[in-house]
Amino acid sequence: MSVLVYIESDNGALKKAALEVASYGRALANTLNTSLSAVIFSSENNELLASYGVDKVLTVDYSEKFNAKIYADIITQAAQKEQATVVVLSSSADSRYLAPMLSVGLDGGYVPNVVELPTQTQPFTVKRSVFSNKAFCATEISTAVKIIGLSNNAFGLVEHPVSSQTEPFSPNIISTEINIENVDKAANKVTIADAETVVSAGRGLKGPENWGMVEDLAEVLGAATACSKPVSDLGWRPHSEHVGQTGKPVASNLYIAIGISGAIQHLAGINSSKVKVVINTDPEAPFFKAADYGIVGDAFEVVPKLIEKLKEFKAQNG
């Protein structure tokens, strides 16, 4: 018996969401009085996993590009080898892609968007967000194996050093009809999915030529940039930056909205963010009702000042 976590890395570096999954897995293993194993597709950074409580690291001998069906099958084999009763994954696009396949492979119930440790283990009950974070649902998993998709930034990082062992894992590799032809990914850019802070701007910025200050603000904060739907529809910013109900979901710790009125479809996509700051000229903008901190003012005056003050703050606080 064990808890198994799927650890994602990007160019050899462990993703923050993966460490969060490890932190959650550790706490869950303690609750269930069992050990924590991890399955990982790169061989570096195993010491880091030990500091987040992973007892055993299975290093998969497979270095091809991510293919959900093959990965799901490998994780299924790892779960069987470790006799895992719970498998925990992140909410990344890749994890969401493979989790349903894993569920069928392991005959185990999958609950995504889980926001905390199980409220009870007999019967096994977890809390997940539903209705675009407008409600939570206590969900019981009735199968022997349980699969949990952890919501981003819901549990946080919790260090828990253990002595860890590493074991090479050579699974059977299945064949698939899917061929990955091309991966087009911006290098060295914080993605909306991984970001702790997201700086987002809307039509209030008046034109694409004014996005320099949004990018500057994002850079000071180490944040990802995003935009509202009208901005992506107008072609001011790429579709991949559109956040909202039909765009990308955001679950950051800090979300800064500049010149975004706060349409209900936009709010549905960013609801899961913990702290929301709104900067808008219109004091009646609906976003002010959904935010934690607000400034009524002209973005072209407020944002440069904010950048300047944040630089001073960062200089003083490291």
Partner 1 sequence: MKILVCISHVPDTTSKINFTNDNTAFDSTGVQFVINPNDEFGLTRAMWFKEKQNATVDVVNVGGPETESTLRKALAIGADAAFRVNMAPTDGYAVAKELTKVAQDGHYDLIIAGRESIDYNGGMVPGMMATALGASFVNNCISLEIEGEKATAVREIDGGKETLTTMLPLVIGGQKGLVEESDLKIPNMRGIMMARKKPLTVLEPSENKTFTSSVNFEKPAPKGAIKMVDADNIDELIDLLHNEAKVI
Name which position in 191, 203, 210, 300 contacts partner 1 (CB under 8 A). 191
Cβ 175 to partner 1 shortest distance, Å: 12
Site for partner 1 in 268-307 (CB under 8 A): 268, 274-275, 277-278, 288-298, 301-302, 305-306
Tell me the C-alpha distance between 43 and 59, whole Å.
Answer: 6
Longest dimension (CA), the chain: 60
Name which position in 1, 47, 61, 130 contacts partner 1 (CB under 8 A). 130
Residues 231, 239 contacting (CB under 8 angstroms): no
Q: How many residues bind partner 1 (CB under 8 A)?
A: 91
| 177 sits near partner 1 (criterion: CB under 8 A) | yes
Cβ closer to partner 1: 43 or 265? Answer: 265
| 227 sits near partner 1 (criterion: CB under 8 A) | no
Binding mask 134-163 for partner 1 (x = CB under 8 A): xxxxxxxxxx--------------------
Cβ closer to partner 1: 60 or 99? Answer: 99
| 261 sits near partner 1 (criterion: CB under 8 A) | no
Tell me the C-alpha distance between 197 and 43, whole Å.
Answer: 29
Name which position in 1, 13, 174, 178 contacts partner 1 (CB under 8 A). 178
Cβ 304 to partner 1 shortest distance, Å: 10
Q: Which residues contact 33 (CB under 8 A, 6 or more apart)?
A: none
Residue 121, helix vs strand vs coil: strand
The residue to which tokens 């569920």 are assigned? 103
Site for partner 1 in 50-79 (CB under 8 A): 68-69, 72
Site for partner 1 in 76-105 (CB under 8 A): 92-94, 96-101, 103-105
Residue 314's alpha-carbon distances to 89, 191, 214, in angstroms, are: 33, 22, 17
Cβ closer to partner 1: 185 or 284? Answer: 185
Cβ 54 to partner 1 shortest distance, Å: 23
Tell me the C-alpha distance between 277 and 257, whole Å.
Answer: 6
Residue 176's alpha-carbon distances to 70, 75, 184, 246, in angstroms, are: 7, 16, 21, 30
Tell me the C-alpha distance between 81 and 59, whole Å.
Answer: 13
Cβ 58 to partner 1 shortest distance, Å: 22
Tell me the C-alpha distance between 11 and 130, whole Å.
Answer: 33
Residue 263's alpha-carbon distances to 5, 136, 229, 257, in angstroms, are: 37, 22, 10, 12
Q: Which stretch binds partner 1 (CB under 8 A): 19-27, 44-52, 127-135, 154-162?
A: 127-135
Name which position in 31, 43, 166, 194 contacts partner 1 (CB under 8 A). 194
Tell me the C-alpha distance between 97 and 72, whole Å.
Answer: 9
Cβ closer to partner 1: 100 or 210? Answer: 100
